[in-house]
Amino acid sequence: MNYSFLKGKHVLVTGGAGFIGHHLVKNIINEKPAKLYIIDNLSTGLKGNIEDIIGLPEVEFINEDIAKPSSVESIQELDYIFHLAAVVSVPKSFEMPFLTHRTNESGFINMLELARRLKVKKLCYASSSAVYGEQTQMPIKETATLNPQSPYGLSKLLNEQYAKAFQEWEYIESIGFRFFNVFGPGQRADSPYSGVISIFMDRMQKGDPIQIFGDGEQIRDFVYVEDVVQALLLGAKSEKKFGLFNVGSGQTTSLNELFEVLRNLTHYSQEPTYQEARKGDIKKSSADIGLIKEELGYEPRFKLKEGLVKLLNKA
């Protein structure tokens, strides 16, 4: 893909030390932007993810909380915002609804104000499949009736509504991406809030026991992180003034199937233990990716197994 539109531009990535963010930052740097700002308060992101990038003369790392207006005060010129900083876990959002609200909603409004102040060309931001909640029709299209079932899902829905309103009121152009289950290298495995693939992979490699919450028949669309980066960059490049798109692989896998694939890849010999489903856990989550393919030219490049092999080899 050609993302040379970023050459010589001023770009901000929030959450740039995080899982998706550091992959995005590496892709952006290759396009030779004039300036790349990275804001991250390192609450879940790791400075080590971007250590080599922080040293570059065109990069400015701002170790700040995105919900504070002061975090962006020093920025005086900007073409694109990629806003990924957020509380990203459904269980954590139940435990800490205020923190989720503050980070995800105040942080988003801070980005809208910044986009307005500096007349940014496009605000590309992480929404989530969590805006859908439990749905009956699979795969899920963007036109589905939204039904968030966690403080996290609610916060992302509010982001989308603000984005829509600010396009009408203030002419701010934005594209929101409803990420399904993103996986890949650099996703942390060391917290109960980590993604299931990173947890399973880590435990299998260490020979530790694995828990499956619920009956394991819940289905997910697991999308490789480089495909998510592709979607974000296509969004920034697009002429669309407003958009909301699913970002997935277009394929679904049950947790039991995932366990088997990973078990074979890692030669893990133990059986999982089944435990009660987690609060807010969605049974079926399957992405229809027709719209993003058609409108942005998105084409996922990694099937689940390929992505898992890359992850295993830490590509």
Tell me if 220 contacts ligand UD2 by CB under 6 A: yes
CB of 246 to ligand UD2, least distance (A): 12
- 281 touches ligand UD2 (CB under 6 A): yes
Is 88 among the residues that bind ligand UD2 (CB under 6 A)? yes
Q: Which residues are catalytic?
A: 152
Q: Rounded to an integer, what distance in angstroms lies between the CA atom of residue 224 and that of residue 243?
A: 22
Q: Which stretch binds ligand UD2 (CB under 6 A): 54-62, 123-131, 237-245, 288-296?
A: 123-131
Query: Is 199 a residue that touches ligand UD2 (CB under 6 A)?
Result: yes
Q: Which amino acid is at 313?
A: N
**Taking the complex as a whole, how short is the minimal distance between the CB of residue 109 and ligand UD2, in angstroms?**
20
- The verdict on 230 binding ligand UD2 (CB under 6 A) reads no
129 near ligand UD2, rule: CB under 6 A: yes
The residue (of 212 and 262) whose beta carbon lies closer to ligand UD2 is 212
Among 182, 234, 244, 289, binds ligand UD2 (CB under 6 A): 182
Shortest Å, Cβ 188 to ligand UD2: 10
Least distance in Å: CB of 150 to ligand UD2? 8
Q: Does 218 bind ligand UD2 (CB under 6 A)?
A: yes
Of the residues 195, 248, 250, 307, which one makes contact with ligand UD2 according to CB under 6 A = 195
- Which is nearer to ligand UD2, 37 or 104 (by Cβ)? 104
Q: Examine residue 157 and tell whether it contacts ligand UD2 (CB under 6 A).
A: no
Contact residues toward ligand UD2 (CB under 6 A) are 88, 90, 128-130, 181-182, 195-196, 199, 211-213, 218, 220, 255, 278, 281-282, 285
